[in-house]
Structure 1
C-alpha cells in the first residue's frame, strides 16, 4: 500500500533545514525534519500555514506510537504552533489555532499514517479575534473537526511559507537553548531535559 507520508519521510532526511521535495506525484514543503518526526505544509490547507506533523515511522494510529515518538510529537506541537503563528506575522498570545488528530476512518482519518494538523485560525478581515459567541454551531463543528473549504497550495506560496516557518522553528529552538531547555547532542538532534535524565528527540 502506498503511503504519501512515508514517501515524504523517506525522501526528506533529518536536517535542520529540510529542502523542498518534488516528484511526479507533487511537491512536499517540509518545515521540520528530525530522526523521529517530520512536519510539512498541507497541500490543501484550511488556512495559510496549515501544517501536518507526523512520526517518521509508519504508524497508523496514535495508540501504536512508541513512547519516544509520542514524546517527540508532544515536544514539537507547541514549537510548531508558535512558529506557524509567528511566520504569519502574529503573536501567539492573541492568536488562535487548532491541533487536530484522528485515529481511524470513522474518526475522519483520511491518510492511514498518524498525523497532527496545526491549523492557524487568524480570523477574517482586520484580523481581530472574534468573541466565542460570534461562532455558530455549524462553524464550530467544522473548526473542531478540521473541516471547511480547502484550496490547493500554490507552489510559490508553499515555498514562501516553508521558508518562513523553518526560520521561526530555528528561532524557537535557539530561544529554548538559551533558556537551557534543550541542548545539542551532535548530529542526532535535540536533547530535551527532564530532570537529570533526558529524552533524545
Structure 2
C-alpha cells in the first residue's frame, strides 16, 4: 500500500462517481475524431459542449446530489456541498489521481486552461472579486477526498461567522450543507455565465483567447 493511502479510509471515491455520472459529451466533430484535442485548440462550439445542458445536469444522478458546472474531457467542476462561502467551486481531474504529482502533462494543461475561466465565472456569479484557489495533497495537508481537486473560494467583504470565531479554511463541523434547490439554481447560473466566458474568449474580449 502506498504511504499516502494509509491516511484515507477504503471507500469508493465520490469524485469518480461524479465523473462517471456526468460523462464528457464532445461535439459531433470531436466525437468522430480519432484523437483528442487540448482545450486551447478547440472552437467555442467544441468548448461549449463541455458545459452540460440543464437537462444533462440532473443533481440526483449521484447521492448525495452533485451540482455540476463543467464536464470536460479531463476536468470536471462542481459545487462544494459543504461550502465555505457561497459559490465555493471544486475543480477536479476526471481521472482518479490522488495527488498533483500523479497527474499527467495533458491533465495539468487542461486544468490550467479551465481554472482561470472558472475563476472568472465564479467572480461574476458571486459578485466577489477576491478569492482563494486552494489545493491539498495528502491527509496531513488537509486533503479530505483523495482525488486531485482545486477549491475556488470567494472571499466576500463580510466572512461567514464560524464557531471558532476565526477563519479556518477547512475546519470540520463549521460548514453548513448546501441546500439542494439553492445548489441547483446556482449551478445553472454558473453554467450560463461559463458559456458567456467561453464566447468572450473566442471574440477576444475576455482575459483568455482561443
1:109 aligns with 2:143: yes
Q: Which residue of 1 aligns with 2:36?
A: none
1:155 aligns with 2:183: no
Q: Which residue of 1 aligns with 2:51?
A: 16
Is the 1:62–1:114 contact (alpha carbons within 8 Å) kept by the matching residues of 2? yes
**Structure 1 or 2: more strand by fraction:** 1
Is the 1:61–1:103 contact (alpha carbons within 8 Å) kept by the matching residues of 2? yes
1:52 aligns with 2:87: no
CA distance in 2, matches of 1:168, 1:23: 23
CA distance in 2, matches of 1:146, 1:178: 38
C-alpha deviations, 1:41-94, integer Å up to 9, x for none? Answer: 001100110010001000000011011111111111111111011112x26xxx
Secondary structure (helix, strand or coil) at the match of 1:71 reads helix
Shift of 1:21: 3.1
CA distance in 2, matches of 1:64, 1:24: 26
Matched residue pairs, number? 163
1:73 aligns with 2:101: no
1:41 aligns with 2:79: yes
Change (3 A) 1:107 1:124: same
C-alpha deviations, 1:121-178, integer Å up to 9, x for none? Answer: 11229xxxxxxxxxxxx846x2xx4447311000111011101111111111100111
CA distance in 1, matches of 2:154, 2:170: 11
Q: Which residue of 1 aligns with 2:102?
A: 64
Shift of 1:110: 0.6
Runs of 4+, deviation exceeding 6 Å: none
Is the 1:11–1:21 contact (alpha carbons within 8 Å) kept by the matching residues of 2? no
Is the 2:97–2:148 contact (alpha carbons within 8 Å) kept by the matching residues of 1? yes
- The runs of 5 or more residues in structure 1 that have no matched partner are 126-137, 183-201
Secondary structure (helix, strand or coil) at the match of 2:92 reads strand
Q: Which residue of 2 aligns with 1:131?
A: none
- The runs of 5 or more residues in structure 2 that have no matched partner are 1-10, 25-49, 160-164
Is the 2:88–2:152 contact (alpha carbons within 8 Å) kept by the matching residues of 1? yes
RMSD: 2.0
CA distance in 2, matches of 1:161, 1:42: 12
